[in-house]
Amino acid sequence: MTVQSSSLLLLMSFAAGTFSAGASSNPQHLMLSLPSGGVPNNPLPLIIWPQVVPDEEEDSAAWFERTFTASGWPAAWRAPIFPYTHYHPNTHEVLGVGAGWAEVLFGGDSGRMVTLREGDAVLIPAGVGHKQVFASDDFFTVGAYPQGFAPETLRDEPAHLREAKLRIQQVPLPAHDPFTGGEGAMTEIWGPIAHQLLP
């Protein structure tokens, strides 16, 4: 299945309601390319890895920290997701759910709600809005960024949209997949799209 055709199928599934990351064991992706209010979003799709933590692992958060760091995405923090729409104009971000569950709105007010559970992970392209809407009391994620990058956080403010879109275009494609440290779902899904976006 091509990236474009699988994207279309995924978009069709979202039309039925909230997306649950646990519905499939394969990495899935969601296109959020159009701006929403003051959220620029990105032509690169959101990538979701459902239940990526191995069954024998007892500490999901520690596994994410080890895996991200070994793959060139140093683990930076453990925390819930901010309860307001925000995005990072200067870096991509990967989140691994260390405990609990949450419904997260991606893409701004006109985006899509995604249910994330312990063991799920999501790669958020620079500029894609995200906000925790509902969550269990124990919910938290492990956050990581490509080596050498630290996030700047902006809110849904239309006055910043034009400048943010220009900055997002300058964010390089990460050199390594956050789970393999080399090629993987990120390079397979983002690589062809990034190549098409080159001038």
- Taking CA atoms, 28 is separated from 19, 48, 86, 98, 113, in Å, by 11, 5, 22, 19, 14
| Domain assignment of residue 33, yes or no | yes
Band of the pLDDT at 198, cuts 50, 70, 90?
Answer: low
Between 115 and 195, residue with greater pLDDT: 115
| Domain assignment of residue 134, yes or no | yes
Question: What pLDDT sits at residue 197?
Answer: 75
The parent domain of residue 58 ranges over 19-187
Place of tokens 């990581």: 144
Question: What pLDDT sits at residue 25?
Answer: 55
Question: What pLDDT sits at residue 199?
Answer: 60
* Tens-place pLDDT, residues 154-189: 999 999 999 999 999 999 999 899 999 999 999 999
Between 173 and 2, residue with greater pLDDT: 173
Residues 6+ away with beta carbon under 8 Å from 117: 21, 22, 51, 97, 100, 101
Question: What pLDDT sits at residue 196?
Answer: 81
Mean pLDDT calculated for residue range 142-165:
95
pTM of the model: 0.87
Question: What pLDDT sits at residue 13?
Answer: 37
- At 69 the three-state DSSP class reads helix
- At 168 the three-state DSSP class reads helix
Give the separation between CA 170 and CA 10, rounded to whole angstroms. 28
| Domain assignment of residue 8, yes or no | no
Burial call 9-37: b when 16+ CB within 10 Å, e when fewer: ebeeeeeeeebbbeeeeebbbbbbeebbe
Domain CATH code at residue 101: 2.60.120.10
Our count of domains for the chain comes to 1
126 torsion bin: left (phi>0), alpha (psi -120 to 50), beta (else): beta
CA 109 to chain centre: 16
* Tens-place pLDDT, residues 10-59: 333 333 334 444 444 588 999 998 999 999 999 999 999 999 999 999 99
- At 2 the three-state DSSP class reads coil
Mean pLDDT calculated for residue range 127-141:
97
Residues 6+ away with beta carbon under 8 Å from 2: none
Residue 80 contacts residue 141 (beta carbons within 8 Å): yes
Between 17 and 73, residue with greater pLDDT: 73
* Tens-place pLDDT, residues 75-112: 999 999 999 999 999 999 999 999 999 999 999 999 99
| Domain assignment of residue 10, yes or no | no
| Domain assignment of residue 195, yes or no | no
Band of the pLDDT at 195, cuts 50, 70, 90?
Answer: confident
Give the separation between CA 131 and CA 87, rounded to whole angstroms. 9
| Domain assignment of residue 192, yes or no | no
- At 133 the three-state DSSP class reads strand
| Domain assignment of residue 172, yes or no | yes
| Domain assignment of residue 47, yes or no | yes
Between 79 and 197, residue with greater pLDDT: 79
